[in-house]
Structure 1
Amino acid sequence: LQGSSAIENNCANERRKCARGDRRKRRRRSERRRRGSCDVTRRCRLWNRNSQIKATERLRVAERLKKTFS
């Protein structure tokens, strides 16, 4: 799986940025307590999951091809 670490790093950076932004904005206490109020982290999580699914899918296809050609 290429670039998965890049995606994960990006996620970590976005999460850090988000946390910093939350502190700067001085949101209401209840809102700050709710994790995932940051849209970026959710997008990141989906992105990670999708990349993992795609990778496993690719592996499965490769296995199938190997079986048919051997």
Structure 2
Amino acid sequence: NCFHVTQQEMFEMNPNIFSISEEIVVSDSSFTRLNNHLRNEWGITVEEIPYREISKMGGLLRCSTLPLVRD
């Protein structure tokens, strides 16, 4: 299962989402193409939040979280 991003989407950090579980992810609300694909093609629940201001600091959801355990 691959989702191919454009150069612009990569620049805007579209793939930088946060997985809560195998069925639920948190994504920026501006990533419409990715979010729609996750929902419609893979059946994943996408919790959208406005997070564009954080990207100005050079990171997004994965970078701004502090999980206690990572596998």
- Greater helix percent: which structure? 1
TM-score, with structure 1 as normaliser? 0.28
- Greater strand percent: which structure? 2
TM-score, with structure 2 as normaliser? 0.28
